[in-house]
Amino acid sequence: MSTDIREHVREKYAEAARGVAEEEGCGCDCGCGDQTTTTLFGQGLYGADERSLLPDAAAKASLGCGNPTAVAELRPGETVLDLGSGGGIDVLLSARRVGTKGTVYGLDMTDEMLALARENARAAGATNVRFLKGYMEEIPLPAESVDVVISNCVVNLSPDKPAVLTEIARVLRPEGRLGISDIVAEDRLSPEDRDERGSFAGCIAGALSEGEYREGLEAAGLVDVEVVFTHEVADGMHSAIVRARRPA
């Protein structure tokens, strides 16, 4: 079952990347398209000043439910990891914040998205970014190697979320921080309720509840867990800011 979910998600986002690369929009149901006016998904969640700093394709390929670079409090010289980096919008914005002495890794499992992201990085002249192919359940980086983990509406796509949260804790340095955007369900909704509200690839069916998120992060060894709803995307389903810290 988990392999089927992963392949379904991969194909949907590969389709989105191909559409953006060919300037045809995208044919997936993962929240992309012309998002300049929407407040739910995509590039409309970034300010015009931020979008103006990026190649157009990076903004158009934004499929997220928030703006994690606005909440992660990135500092010059830090090492950042973006899970499910897609077309690279959050990697490129993070690269500007950490400066030339910092490094930003983008991790994605989709060849088409990685190709698009690398082209966007080249067009932006970003020299402090590295794109990696892999799964967020098995992050291809050493333990205690990053200061900050960010992600934009991606953890909900994993078929094995406890593994993702454990991997986040593993790669964070002591006092390292998690600052992500994700879709989170109200605790009143059962998994069946979430299934009724949207698809897995559309970031709805696979979402954790607020309580499940808190419990999962704490079980992984993280502390100071925060889950803050920002806007509703379906009945009882919210875009949320999720923060946590690895203790010293």
* Comparison of pLDDT for 243 and 62, the residue scoring more: 243
Q: Look up the CATH number of domain 2-245.
A: 3.40.50.150
Residue spans per domain, the chain? 2-245
Model-level pTM? 0.83
SS3 121: helix
The residue to which tokens 């203790």 are assigned: 247
pLDDT at 58 over 70: no
Q: What is the pLDDT of residues 80-107, one digit of tens each?
A: 999 999 889 899 999 999 999 999 999 9
Has residue 31 got a pLDDT over 60? no
pLDDT at 55 > cutoff 60: no
C-alpha to C-alpha distance for 127 and 49, rounded to whole angstroms:
21
175 Cβ partners below 8 Å, 6+ apart? 245, 246, 247, 248
3-state DSSP: the chain helix, strand, coil percent, rounded to 5?
A: 35, 25, 40
pLDDT tens column, 186-238: 999 999 999 998 877 677 878 999 999 999 999 999 999 999 999 898 999 99
Q: What is the mean pLDDT of the chain?
A: 83
Q: What pLDDT was estimated at residue 62?
A: 52
Cα 55 to its chain centre, rounded Å, is 19
Dist CA 139 CA 202 (whole Å): 23
Give the pLDDT confidence score for residue 166 in this predicted structure: 98
Task: State the helix-helix crossing angle for 2-21 and 111-124, rounded to 10 degrees.
Answer: 40
Q: What's the pLDDT at 35?
A: 39
The whole-number pLDDT of residue 51 equals 56
Per-residue pLDDT tens digits for 123-177 = 999 999 999 999 999 999 999 999 999 999 899 999 999 999 999 999 999 999 9
70-74, 120-124, 198-202: which has the highest mean pLDDT? 120-124
Q: What are phi and psi of 176, to 5 degrees?
A: -65, 160
Q: Measured between alpha carbons, how far is residue 87 from residues 18, 72, 73, 113 in Å?
A: 11, 19, 22, 5
